[in-house]
Structure formats: C-alpha cells, structure tokens
Amino acid sequence: MARIVVIGSAGRDEVMRLSTPLRAGAHLNGSSAGSRLGGGGANTAVALAAAGHHVTLLTAVGRDAVGDAVVGELHAAGVDTSQLFRLDGATTRSLVLVDPQGERTVVNVARCEQAEPPQRLLTLAADAVYVRSRRLDLAPLLARKAEEALVVAHVPPLDPGSRPAQVLVASASDLDRELTRDPLALGRSVAGERVRWVVVTAGAAGAKATSESEVQDVPAETVAAVDTTGAGDAFAAGLVHALASGASMRDAMRLAVRFGTEATRWFASALPPEAVRRLLR
C-alpha cells in the first residue's frame, strides 16, 4: 500500500442522457439521469483507494448540503478527507451530457477552490502525488515535493515550468497536433529537467509514453462505450497505482489503458470499486 496524495476537484455531476448526439445550434431531447460524485480529483482518489492505497484528497467543497454529501461519499469510498477544506459558497457542480454513443460533454456550473495553494501538501508523508488541477501557483509546492516523492501531473496547464513532475499525462484532445510530435520537448518545457516520461492518451486509440530512451505505445480494447465520463481519471489511477507499486512504465501503461477502457463500460463518473478490484485480481 502506498501513501498517495491527490490534488484536484470534488463535486457533484448532474447527468443528462441525450437521445441524439450533441450538435451545435440544435434542439435536443434528453432525460435526467440524476446526480453522482464527480470531479477529477475525486474520481482518481476513489479508484486509488479501491486499489488499496491510503489516499488523501486535497480539495475544497462548500459548506452546503452538496458538500456534505460529497464528503460523506468520499469517506465511504475509503478516501482520507481530513485535509479537505470547507469554504463558504457552493460546492463544485457540473452538468454532464451523455449521448447515445456514450460520449460526454461537461459544462462547469460552479467551482469551489481555495484562494491559496494547499501548503499542507508539504507536511504530508507521500510516496506519490497526483495533480489534476490547472492552477499555476502549485509549481513551487510540486518542485519541493518532487524531491522526496513521485509526482504525476496532468496537463494543461502548458506554461513553462508550471508542472515540476517526473511524469506528465496529457490528452491528445487538449494539445495542438504540433505539440504531440515531440512530447518530450513539451515535457521539458512544462516540467523541467526532472521529467522522465510524457504520457499522451488518445481515447479509443490507446496511449503512448515517451522517455529519452524508449516509447511505450499501448492500444486500447475496442468496446461499446456506455459513458466516457472519467475515463481519463481512471487511466490516471491505473498509472499512479502501478508506478507507486514499483511497476515498469510498460506494465503501468498496460494497466492504465485497462482502467480507462473499463471506465467507459460503466454509467458513472468514477470507476466503481468493484471494477477496480476485479481488474487487479
């Protein structure tokens, strides 16, 4: 079991099932599918906790009924919420539109975030840190933490020096095509010389990890997607779990792709614990 700190959002996803694919300017029919725990930080933390790690989530939620529910669900999933901050205002909330092919569109409705970066990160014992946040003021904290722990950070942001980490993870859909041609150069710009691997996910096409000496290209299994929400978060959980457990990047990539693929089979934002445990058997 590793000690893992996750930095990212936690909130409530309000889900709508669309009867047809999303089209700009169209009048669409849909039906409410209720609400569920969401947020990139929460989704990854829940999966890592199910994998047997001690997971501390650094996030903020509002002092409202939604925040109470989010904290309760995280605690029930085995996530350490002792470092979670409660703030005045609304808890993070998103509208998630899921079309008949399982493709999702996310509309952020409310964001709950501390004004200052979480300095408490430096006081927490951690074997690994995963970052799913776009705030730029995390860089000094991550640089210090990377001296003693594995730091895996999702990008964007792409600002120079904004994500001091040994491993960067990006979605091809978030990058200009030109940037994907030399991922290691991108990694050095964003993370500095400490970067060892740059991982780029490409949905149904799988994922590729690039270092100075090798490339690991892992295809994805073809599946009929039910809901692609949180597939990237599940991928990250599989990757961090494997690396924190001492696996090679080759084996970590294979497991991460399996996690991401499995997530698309579930109508959920976070990969369910029973799915995680089955994947690791």
Q: Which run of H or of E encompasses 150? A: strand 150-155
* pLDDT tens profile 220-232: 989 999 999 999 9
180 pLDDT band, cuts 50/70/90, is confident
pTM: 0.96
Distance CA 93, CA 96 (A): 10
Is pLDDT above 80 for 178? no
Domains recognised in the chain with CATH numbers: 3-19+31-274 (3.40.1190.20)
Residue 7: Cβ-neighbour burial (10 angstroms; 0-12, 13-18, 19+): buried
pLDDT at 208: 96
Q: Give CA torsion, residues 240, 246, 251, 255, to 10 deg.
A: -40
Is pLDDT above 90 for 175? no
Weakest-pLDDT range from 23-32, 173-182, 198-207:
173-182
Using the structure block, give the residue that is written with the tokens 């074997």: 127
Is pLDDT above 90 for 181? no
Distance CA 189, CA 201 (A): 19
Cα–Cα nearest to 272, from 226, 205, 221: 226
What's the average model confidence in pLDDT over 253-264? 97
Q: What is the DSSP string of 39-75?
A: -HHHHHHHHHHHTT-EEEEE-EEESSHHHHHHHHHHH
* pLDDT tens profile 62-89: 999 999 999 999 999 999 999 999 999 9
* Sequence-ordered list of residues with C-beta below 8 angstroms from that of 12, at least 6 positions apart, any chain: 35, 36, 37, 38, 66, 69, 70, 91, 92, 93, 94
Cα angle 70, 83, 166 (rounded to 5 degrees) comes to: 105
Is pLDDT above 80 for 179? no
What token pair was written down for 186? 């991108």
Q: Give CA torsion, residues 141, 195, 2, 127, to 10 deg.
A: -40
177 pLDDT band, cuts 50/70/90, is confident
- The more confident residue out of 204 and 170 is 170
What token pair was written down for 279? 């994947």
CB 139 within 8 A of CB 163: yes
- 130: which strand partners? 6, 152
Using the structure block, give the residue that is written with the tokens 């709508």: 16
pLDDT at 204: 86
